[in-house]
Amino acid sequence: MDCPGCGVEMVDLASDDQTLRTCGECGGLWMDVADLNRLLLHHGLPGLESLGGKVLPDADCGTCSECQVDLVRVEGGEKNHPLGYDTCESCGGLFLEEEFADVKDIKEAQKRVVAFFTRFSGKTAKKKAATG
Ligand SMILES: [Zn+2]
Ligand SMILES: [Zn+2]
């Protein structure tokens, strides 16, 4: 799998049940939508479909190197801090342009993915006394 952003071969980060791919060049991350949904549900977030966000039809994104189709840009998050990801409508893959270049293991990558989609959904942590 080549990076949709820069076309270099991505690095696999694998766990027992999922594989994420990161790009050492741009720090992007590619993952399957099924893997993402599992990860989100596991962390108490709704699936990707319920997270909102709007499609930006004119955005210039990369191309899915698996399907050779153009990616679609989806934007969400807060007005002041918009967040976006690119997705392939053919295979359902997602590309995040966050900085994943320094991620060494899949646990760390998953943590950042969850943090990203928590912000994306607008569910910022409410002020709450620390428990535990
Ligand atoms: Zn890249
Ligand atoms: Zn694809």
User: Using one digit for the tens of pLDDT, what is the confidence trace for 45-71?
Assistant: 999 999 989 999 889 899 999 999 999
Average pLDDT over residues 79-86: 91
CA of 66 to the centre of ligand 2 (A): 5
Q: Which residues contact 54 (CB under 8 A, 6 or more apart)?
A: 74, 75, 76
Asked if pLDDT for residue 97 goes beyond 70, the answer is: yes
CA of 131 to the centre of ligand 2 (A): 42
Judged by its nearest atom, the ligand closest to the C-alpha of residue 64 is 2
The order of strands in the sheet holding 72-77 is 11-14, 19-22, 29-32, 93-96, 82-87, 72-77, 54-56
Please answer whether residues 18 and 93 qualify as being in contact, where contact means their C-beta atoms are separated by less than 8 angstroms. Answer: no
